[in-house]
C-alpha cells in the first residue's frame, strides 16, 4: 500500500501513460474481440478500466471529469479519451483532497476495512491485470500493442534482435 501521496502520484502517472498508449491502439472493430464466446470483450474490458477509476469516488474522492459509466461508447477513440480524462481526474482528486495522513485511514471496501493507501494500490494492480488481458485480446484482434514494461515483438525485430520465446 502507499504511505506517501507522492509515491502513488508518481506511479499513477507512469501507469496511466502506459494504459493510455494501450487504449489509443484500439480500433472500433477490435472492441468486439471476446475473451471467449459470451464472455467479456476487449471493449468491455477497456470500459471496465474507465469505470474502475470512478469507483474511487465511493471512497469520498470528488472527481470532476468522469463519464457516465452506463454509456459505453462504441468508438475506440471516445473510450481512450474518457480514460485519459478519468485518469487525470483521479490524479487531481488525490493530489488535492488526500494527504499522507489520509492514506492511512480506513474505509469499508467490499465489506472489509481497507486503508486508502491500499485502495490506491489495488487500483493500480487491478488496472495492470485488465490491461494485460487487453493486450492479449488486441493481438488476437490483429492489432500491434504498444510497449508496456519492455520491448514488444515489433521493437525486437526493428532492433535486429530475435524476439524472446
Ligand atoms: Ni475488474
- 126 Cα: distance to centroid of ligand 1 (angstroms): 6
| CA gap 4, 6 in Å, rounded | 5
Architecture of domain 5-100+108-158: Up-down Bundle (1.20)
CA nearest to 142, candidates 26, 22, 5: 26
| CA gap 69, 51 in Å, rounded | 6
**Could you report the per-residue pLDDT of 78-120, keeping only the tens digit for each?**
999 999 999 999 999 999 999 999 999 999 988 999 999 999 9
**Could you report the per-residue pLDDT of 30-54, keeping only the tens digit for each?**
999 999 888 899 999 999 999 999 9
The alpha helices in 25-75, defined as continuous H runs, are 42-55
The residue whose grid cell reads 485502495 is: 119
Using alpha carbons only, what angle is made at residue 87 by residues 83 and 88, rounded to the nearest 5 degrees? 120
Mean pLDDT of the chain: 94
- 48 Cα: distance to centroid of ligand 1 (angstroms): 7
Q: Where are the domains of the chain?
A: 5-100+108-158
- 35 Cα: distance to centroid of ligand 1 (angstroms): 14
Separation in Å, CA 144 to CA 26, 84, 140, 148: 9, 20, 10, 12
At 145, is the pLDDT very low, low, confident or very high (cuts 50, 70, 90)? very high
Amino acid at each position: 500500500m502507499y504511505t506517501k501521496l507522492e509515491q502513488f502520484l508518481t506511479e499513477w502517472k507512469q501507469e496511466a501513460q502506459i494504459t493510455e498508449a494501450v487504449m489509443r491502439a484500439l480500433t472500433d472493430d477490435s472492441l468486439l474481440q471476446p475473451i471467449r464466446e459470451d464472455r467479456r470483450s476487449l471493449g468491455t474490458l477497456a470500459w471496465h478500466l474507465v469505470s474502475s477509476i470512478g469507483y474511487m469516488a465511493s471512497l469520498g474522492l470528488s472527481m470532476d471529469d468522469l463519464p457516465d459509466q452506463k454509456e459505453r461508447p462504441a468508438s475506440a477513440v471516445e473510450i481512450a479519451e474518457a480514460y485519459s480524462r478519468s485518469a487525470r481526474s483521479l490524479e487531481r482528486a488525490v493530489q488535492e483532497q488526500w494527504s499522507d495522513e489520509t492514506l492511512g485511514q480506513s474505509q469499508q471496501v467490499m465489506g472489509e476495512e481497507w486503508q486508502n493507501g491500499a485502495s490506491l494500490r489495488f487500483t493500480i494492480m487491478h488496472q495492470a491485470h485488465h490491461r494485460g488481458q487487453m493486450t492479449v485480446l488486441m493481438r488476437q484482434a490483429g492489432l500491434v500493442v504498444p510497449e508496456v514494461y519492455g520491448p514488444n515483438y515489433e521493437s525486437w525485430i526493428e532492433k535486429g534482435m530475435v524476439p524472446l520465446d
